[in-house]
Amino acid sequence: MDRAIVARPEFQPGRRIIAVSDIHGNLPFFRGLMEQVGLTRWDILVLVGDVLEKGKESLALLRHVMELSRTHTVYCICGNCDGLVLRFFETDALDDRFFSSYLPQHPESCLRQMAREGGFDQTEDLPLLRRQLRAAFQREWAFLRAMPTIVETEHLVFVHGGVPSLRRMEGLERWSCMKNDNFLGQGYSFDKWVIVGHWPVTLYDPKIPSAAPLFERRRKIISIDGGCVLKLDGQLNALILPEEGAENFSWQAYDGLPQITALDGQEASADSVNIRWGRSALELVQQGEETSLCRHLESGRVLPILNTYLRRTGDKLWCEDSTDYALPVAPGDRLSLVARTKKSGLLCKKNGVTGWYYGRTAGNNTPE
């Protein structure tokens, strides 16, 4: 797994291109999204890494993608989580120090799911587990091994994490292409469209939490990780192109959340904060029944946080991604309902953006 593996297929004119990243073992979301976009055998589906890990159905999803690859045109790119599973299969003199910690802490890892199905789920003897998995899951191993790191066409480059340059990509270190944190923050520009996942797009904006694909048109980068599985309000995005060479991108998303209809209008917040992973340390100001008033240590902002989002690690208080942003809403807007409170409004999503709605909803005159 040292150097990047680059596939260079030719995408036929007139074939729709659908790119999806970071499914993370969420088979229902993937099925729902494919039904929503109306996937056909004429489409070209590019899975931009991290099909596996974190979710509860990695093995089932892997097999579903393997079967889909037999009947449809599918390019499945290796992400860092997929690479992690492959690494366990591939290397005998492995860094088992890592896996001896990782596997007991991640019972829903694809490797553990395989081991349970095979009837040999244990994490004490990793060389034995590796031999058993290799023998029992040869088809899955072969599929993972065949995943490219990068798919490049005449006008497009798909890679899970990112690349520093489009020149001599076979010489790039493979892992850095798969795991490339904060890629949009690194200042790169390209002469082809580079489509990446890996870094949930909600992490980029300190003010407003949006899971919608992020288009950097001047730099020709599109980041599409909607935080599926990782975020409580995450979604699975599909970036859609009518054909190779077109630039009229569109997108759809599936979040599995209940839908409500707004009856009242409200203006967007003039100012807000997006409390994100890794930057979510809090100080408790006042405990409440449904929400608690907290000070966000990075921004100094005081805001209500859902009690169900509060977490403690030792004496440190932090939260899942949170915001005080009020959504712009017009009467009749359809919203995805993330969380309902009796007194503090509804946490909702509109067009991939998460925020609060304080009005009435259809069939329910009070936001409760």
Q: List, for residues 86-122, the tens digit of each pLDDT value.
A: 999 988 655 677 898 999 999 999 999 999 999 999 9
Q: In this predicted structure, what is the pLDDT of residue 343? A: 87
Q: Provide the CATH number for the domain around residue 113.
A: 3.60.21.10
Mean pLDDT of 199-221: 97
Residue 103 sits in the same domain as residue 162: yes
| Mean pLDDT of all residues in 221-244 | 97
Same domain, 242 and 270: no
- The answer to whether position 367 is within a domain reads no
The model's pTM is 0.94
Q: Which of 254, 273, 298 is the last residue of a domain?
A: 254
At 18-54, the pLDDT tens digits run 999 999 999 999 999 999 999 999 999 999 999 999 9
Strand, coil or helix: what is 162?
coil
Q: Are residues 219 and 278 in the same domain?
A: no
pLDDT of residue 97: 78
Instruction: Choose one of 206, 231, 254: the last residue of a domain.
Output: 254
85 with 26, same domain: the answer is yes
Sorted by sequence, the CB contacts under 8 Å of residue 86 that are 6+ apart come out as: 1, 78, 141, 144, 145, 147
Count structural domains, the chain. 2
- Is the model's pLDDT at 12 over the cut of 70? yes
pLDDT for 55-80, tens place per residue? 999 999 999 999 999 999 999 999 99
Q: What is the pLDDT of residue 366?
A: 43
Which domain does 329 fall in, by range? 259-357
Instruction: Note whether 20 and 146 are same-domain residues.
Output: yes
DSSP 236-262: EEEEEESSTT----EEEEE--PPEEEB
pLDDT at residue 95 in the model: 63
pLDDT at 1 over 80: no
Is 363 a domain residue? Answer: no
Domain end residue (candidates: 228, 254, 280): 254
Is the Cβ–Cβ distance between 272 and 296 less than 8 Å?
A: no
